[in-house]
Amino acid sequence: MALPTLPTRPVADPAAVVQGDRYRITVLTEGLLRLEHSPDGTFEDRPSTFALHRQQPVPEFRVVDQGTHLEVVTRRMRLTYDKGPFTTSGLSVAVLGAVTTWHSVWRYGQDDDGRNLGGTARTLDEADGAVPLEPGVVGRNGYAVIDDSSSLLLTDDGWVAPRDDGRTDLYVFAYGHDHAEAVRALYAVSGAQPVLPRWALGNWWSRYHRYAADEYLALLTRFRAAGLPFSVAVLDMDWHVTDVDPAISSGWTGYSWDREVFPDPRAFLAEVHRRGLRVTLNVHPADGVGPHEDAYVAMCAALGLDPTDRDPVAFDVTDEAFLTAYLDVLHRGLEDDGVDFWWIDWQQGSHSRVAGIDPLWMLNHFHFLDNARGGRRPLTFSRYAGPGSHRYPVGFSGDAVVSWASLAFQPHFTAAAANIGYGWWSHDVGGHMFGAKDDELATRWVQLGVFSPILRLHSSNNPFLTKEPWSFGPEHEAAQTAALRLRHRLVPYLHTMNHRAAREGVPLVTPMYHRWPRHPEAYEVPGQVAFGSQLLVAPVTGPRDRESATAAVRAWLPDGVWVDVLTGLVYDGGRELVLHRDLTSVPVLAPAGALVPLDAADVPADDPVEPDALEVLVVVGADGGLTLVEDDGTGDGLDEARVVRTPLTWDQAAGVLTVGPAAGATGVLPAVRTWTATFVSVAGGVAPVATIEGGAVEPGVVRTADGHLRVTVADVPVGAVLRVGLGEAPELRPNDVAGRLHRLLDAAQVGFELKRRVLEVLTSDRPLHVRLAHLAALDVPASLRAAVEEVVLARASA
């Protein structure tokens, strides 16, 4: 069977090329140059592991040949080059229109003074806090470089070839502070992120533990009884035989089911599928295929080896015949049993017997392409292997230490990965190993997981290191249960952003400076992220203090009005602030005009299919729009004939939410749906009305205890237009300052008299500055004082 290939357009349009005897300059986009130098005058046009699509629309540029040097100028940059071997003095690119001017010139071979904003790292194995990040394509100086000089080349037959030594091949990104556009240029040349299967966006259950089939199924039954949805079942290495003669194998590598614990693997996998979950198995391929393996004889036959010799079949990813058999023989039978995709747990470094061939990249590339056979939407689960790895999601970030330091680093790590286009990290939620039991740490990690690309609970092989929510105290079990349910409720929004990531080049999780690059404050909150187009999240990564019973997180809100959709608290933006949250919540902020579609079920199903009932969170105060994207789950997700789009529009002046009509492959949706419009923290005095295709219907109307207004309309045909109106120009309601202060103070671990005095002072009718001055005179612990001030100062009208 031939190896699968990627579509490529590797040869640039000649009109984009400026070439000399030993140099070649390709203007790929107005902000991206390919710079090559070759001592023998030969240049490389084959696709590399990074660059698949050098054939791009030719941007406007001009060439000025000054004799001793030449200049190439676009709207974004000016290259100056002396036509010789690349040197610091002879080759430079000036960023035009950059915020920083005297720092905004890239020179070949010169350090960027640490101003690159970072990309990601191969792994978080054994990380206990921050780790160094490889460079991304964005920087504070306005430029960044990818050195592609030694990456692998892809050949027409689907195989790979190493580079010739001595040639320099650079990609210079000069987008100033237009960071999001630099990432789009990366995708244009390297290939887009694929559309993930919808089910990958739900909760994943994983644990390094020698499960038996009945034990695993009993666990899934208990999860369902507890209202804990999971869409992916992960089996770590103990699915296969591990008790092996050390002369044959370490036991880490294996491809044969351990029949002692999985006597009927096919029946087990079928039952997991029947419950609505997909299955991935862990594989450590480094030891090759021993004579004890079920597929040993077939592997020997495929490779022309004599199985009677009983010699292990060596793992050799540089051998095309081996890799073909590895996929077609070794894995195919297991996939026929019901394995949906593979967890490739390669930890043996980046070297092989052929210089330049990284086994991790090879495994990621070929497993991903192989998983797409038969029209399936492909998925792999593996570590990062350098620029271009975004094409092979999902990323496995490795075995982080259980600690607050690890948790604190992961939001930054996840967001910065967008700087190299790597949008689908999956972390070991709760940490993998070492550390100590800390219920609060585990809960905050699960809450981070909700607002991460992938939520996967995992832990090491330790009987005390468990992640089932009932393993923790009652308040933590409740908070984790709520978080896991919320993750599945978010799938309609997540899948819409999944399509956006593939089509528009915007990862699900991005740093704040991608959206607000000219605001210095955006660079000062590395753990705060944009979560899709509608939400900002400031994960809580530190413990609660005793006095206020809250945890604090530093944040920045851009201009405008923002509402925390989990608490309903309304904030004026345009400022830095410290947010405080009890164990039940993290700051999830939406601007006026935001629309967030959710599964309406309080306890969603395990398989997060297109739901019969949807809820749309609406933040009034400005116009808003979002198109809900769904699909039939087959192919690559980019075929419009398989996609259905439902427009959601909020008209602030008219006070009307319009839903639909759905267009496209509507056959994949339920024929009718129930829609709930939840107007977050909307003021009273509104009179909800609803129409379907212009005809009035009687909606269900509920005002919730937290101040939201829920308007529900049942039996809306999929192709109809639903309108829900509140009346002209509805407003957000004033914050219930007194009520919020009472709840906050009630939970605080301080004296009762102090609580009473603080409440009286802050709810008096005196001017705000007088109240705050009085508060300062009281002996209030600093953390509690900051928490109550947040509530009082959330809106200027307080």
Query: In the structure, what pLDDT confidence band is assigned to residue 111 with cuts at 50, 70 and 90?
Result: confident
Residue 488: alpha-carbon gap to chain centroid: 15
- Rounded Cα distance between 221 and 254, Å, is 28
Phi and psi of 712, rounded to 5°?
Answer: -115, 135
Is 798 a residue whose pLDDT tops 90? no
pLDDT of residue 350: 85
pLDDT of residue 1: 54
What percent of the chain has pLDDT above 70? 99
- Rounded Cα distance between 287 and 303, Å, is 17
pLDDT of residue 514: 98
Give pLDDT tens digits for 149-207.
Answer: 999 999 999 999 999 888 999 999 999 999 999 999 999 999 999 999 999 999 999 99
User: Percentages helix, strand, coil for the chain, rounded to the nearest 5?
Assistant: 25, 25, 50
Look up tokens 């949906």; give the residue: 340
Give pLDDT tens digits for 431-490.
Answer: 999 999 999 999 999 999 999 999 999 999 999 999 999 999 999 999 999 999 999 999
pLDDT of residue 729: 97
- Rounded Cα distance between 632 and 619, Å, is 30
- Element housing 314 (H / E): none
Any bridge partners for residue 281, and if so which?
Answer: 235, 342
294 vs 98, more confident: 294
The whole-number average pLDDT for the span 81-89 is 97
Label the pairing between strands 613-618 and 672-679.
parallel
- Rounded Cα distance between 589 and 578, Å, is 14
Q: Provide the mean pLDDT of the chain.
A: 96
Nearest CA-CA partner of 188 in 421, 510, 497, 495: 421
- Rounded Cα distance between 83 and 89, Å, is 12
User: Which distant-in-sequence residues (6+ apart) come within 8 Å of 711 by Cβ?
Assistant: 676, 677, 678, 679, 688, 690, 699, 700, 701, 724
Q: Are 422 and 387 in contact (CB under 8 A)?
A: no
Any bridge partners for residue 27, and if so which?
Answer: 33
pLDDT of residue 249: 86
Q: Are 419 and 183 in contact (CB under 8 A)?
A: yes
pLDDT of residue 347: 87
Query: In the structure, what pLDDT confidence band is assigned to residue 100 with cuts at 50, 70 and 90?
Result: low
Q: Are 154 and 191 in contact (CB under 8 A)?
A: no
Please state which CATH class domain 610-725 belongs to.
Answer: mainly beta
Look up tokens 């690349």; give the residue: 86
Side-chain-facing half-sphere of 688: CA atoms under 13 Å: 24
Integer angstrom CA distances of residue 690 from 10, 529, 568, 699, 700:
54, 35, 24, 6, 10
pLDDT of residue 114: 78
Q: DSSP code of 607?
A: S
pLDDT of residue 796: 84
- Element housing 651 (H / E): strand 643-651
| Alpha helix segments (H runs only) across 655-781 | 737-747, 752-762, 768-777
pLDDT of residue 647: 98
pLDDT of residue 356: 85
Q: Are 206 and 236 in contact (CB under 8 A)?
A: yes
Give pLDDT tens digits for 524-569.
Answer: 999 999 999 999 999 999 999 999 999 999 999 999 999 999 999 9
- Element housing 203 (H / E): strand 203-205
Phi and psi of 26, rounded to 5°?
Answer: -120, 125
Give pLDDT tens digits for 132-143.
Answer: 999 999 999 999
Is 712 a residue whose pLDDT tops 90? yes
Q: Where are the domains of the chain?
A: 14-190, 199-389, 610-725, 735-798
Pull the structure tokens for residue 525.
């909150």
Topology at the third CATH level for domain 14-190: Immunoglobulin-like (2.60.40)
The whole-number average pLDDT for the span 731-749 is 97
- Rounded Cα distance between 106 and 95, Å, is 8
The whole-number average pLDDT for the span 700-726 is 95
Please state which CATH class domain 199-389 belongs to.
Answer: alpha beta
- 278-313: string of b/e by CB count within 10 Å (b at 16+)? bbbbbbbbbbbbbbbbbbbebbbebbeeeeeeeebb
**Do 14-190 and 610-725 come out as alike in CATH topology?**
yes
* Max Cα–Cα distance, the chain, nearest Å: 92
pLDDT of residue 354: 85
The whole-number average pLDDT for the span 297-315 is 96
pLDDT of residue 101: 54
The whole-number average pLDDT for the span 376-403 is 97
Label the pairing between strands 455-457 and 203-205.
parallel
- Rounded Cα distance between 562 and 496, Å, is 22
pLDDT of residue 97: 79
- Do you find a cis peptide bond into 394, omega within 30 degrees of 0? yes
Phi and psi of 644, rounded to 5°?
Answer: -125, 135
User: Which distant-in-sequence residues (6+ apart) come within 8 Å of 471 by Cβ?
Assistant: none
Q: Are 41 and 164 in contact (CB under 8 A)?
A: no
Q: Are 485 and 602 in contact (CB under 8 A)?
A: yes
Query: In the structure, what pLDDT confidence band is assigned to residue 706 with cuts at 50, 70 and 90?
Result: confident
pLDDT of residue 265: 98
For the sheet with 62-65, list strands across it.
Answer: 62-65, 70-73, 77-81, 91-95, 105-107
First CA to last CA across the chain, in angstroms?
70
